[in-house]
Structure 1
Amino acid sequence: MRRITLALFFISIAFFAQSQTVNLFDGKSLAGWYMDVPDLQADSSLRIPFIIRDGLLVSLGTPQGHLISEAEYENYTLELDYRFAGEPGNCGILVHASTPRALYGMFPKSIEVQLMHSNAGDFWCIEQNIEVEDMEARRGPKENWGVNGKKLRRIKNLTDDSEKPLGEWNHIKIRCDADKVTVWLNGDLVNDGFNATATRGKIALQAEGAEVEFKNVMLTKL
């Protein structure tokens, strides 16, 4: 009887853990997401930059804009796989996204986790702020810090060699816990921020010049 009770206990734990994890991309549609693409809004004849191809979510890179979750989230872990489909370039994942087009008439107010080739794991402050250890070494002179315009908004990641070779899939894990944002890339800790000025918001994927494929977009509530 005790073995049966323990087995049921562990099964219930596993079921609870699974129930806290949601798949944000069903492999067939953009259900649960919407686009904010300024140039496409101005000219509907332009191509749509976010598509489904072979069961993958694809950012074509242009026209530039964002694919934004309809729901807001707080206290979660986001994990997904990504790779550059052709030439390497720029892209990012935005967490705690809120006010649309808050920077340069394009970027929503948020904290960006950079995916740009050779810079994956950097933080970019977009009308929100976050801190890290060794802040001046990784961000530059304190008097130039800021969250908009030409201020120093980039906070460099902790490693230089965590990305896979081009064409291979990278696995990124982003943990948002209260005012902390922690990022792992292919198992390596690449950034660890605290005192974030936002703790809740939407999630956004960028179209920022390069074609990027995404799969296994999973969110687990903490």
Structure 2
Amino acid sequence: MRKFIPLLCITFLILAWQLPNQNLQKVSYSLFNGTDLTGWHVDVPEMDKNVLAKNPFIVRDNMLVSLGEPRGHLITDTIYQNYKLEVDYRFPGAPGNCGVLVHASTPRALYGMFPKSIEVQMEHENAGDFWCIAEDIEVLNMEERRGPKENWGTTGDKARRIRNLTTGSESPLGQWNTMVIECRDDKIKVWVNGDLVNEGFNSTAHKGQIALQAEGAEVEFKKLEITPL
């Protein structure tokens, strides 16, 4: 009995140490430090060949800003799996195009610029669409939302767009939107301002880097917060 009591104490101490650490792993944290682009790297083809090309990703007023041109991506150094990403963004000027790419991997896999990934669209009035970039995902009512099956594909000019589920979920132009992307195993869910706008399954990728686009329009980001699941 005396030998059994110390063993119980050791077991309790191990469990007590593990539980707080498990909880710590679930704590949300920002992918952007508000000061510089630490933790990210830029992939902009124009910057390879033109020494005068400007970096389209800057920090301004404690916000991460995509200037839109020259076009390319800002990519996390870290690979992520099973997480919730909350993004507060807005188009401060003219409406335009941008996106959050999840499960990103091979650089410049499409058109010599887009990394292999699944894009969650942020284009004004189309926020929440999926775009398949050398990766794929399924949704309910697939043909209704993607078009005829014979046109589906993940490269070139194939039907890579999967339309979202709602209209009117975005804030008026110039106001802030909150997009939440939940990646869990082979599933991706997207909310815009509280509305579930897309839900996919059987994703061909389950992990990867996270990327933001410079795709023609200026976009401000004031929150990029990730929570492990």
User: Which of 181, 185, 188 is the equivalent residue of 1:178?
Assistant: 185
How far 1:19 moved relative to its partner?
Answer: 5.3
2:222: which partner in 1? 215
- The residue that corresponds to 1:117 in the other structure is 124
- Equivalent residue number for residue 135 of structure 1: 142
Residue 78 (structure 2) aligns with: 71
Q: TM-score, normalised by structure 1?
A: 0.92
**Cα distance, 1:80 vs structure 2:** 1.1
Deviation at 1:16? 2.6
Q: Which residue of 1 aligns with 2:98?
A: 91
Runs of 4+ in 1 over 3 A off after TM superposition: none
Give the secondary structure class of the aligned counterpart of 1:40. helix
- Taking the TM superposition and a 5 Å limit, the aligned residue runs for 1:18-167 are 20-167=27-174
Rg: which structure is higher? 2
TM-score w.r.t. structure 2 length?
A: 0.89
Q: How many residues align?
A: 211
Match of 2:4 in 1: none
Letter of the structure 2 residue corresponding to residue 84 of structure 1? F
Amino acid across the alignment from 2:218: E
Q: Show CA shifts across 1:55-86 (max 9, x none).
A: 00000000000000000000000001000021
Question: Which residues of structure 2 form unaligned runs of 5+?
Answer: 1-18
Displacement, 1:192? 0.2
Secondary structure of the structure 1 residue equivalent to 2:47: helix
In the TM superposition, residue 215 of structure 1 has moved relative to its aligned partner by 1.4
Separation in 2 of the partners of 1:67 and 1:155?
23
Identity, % of aligned pairs? 63
Amino acid at match of 1:73: Y
The CA distance in 2 between the partners of 1:44 and 1:72, in whole Å, is 29
Q: Structure 1: which amino acid aligns with 2:122?
A: L
1:203 to 200, 210, 215: 210
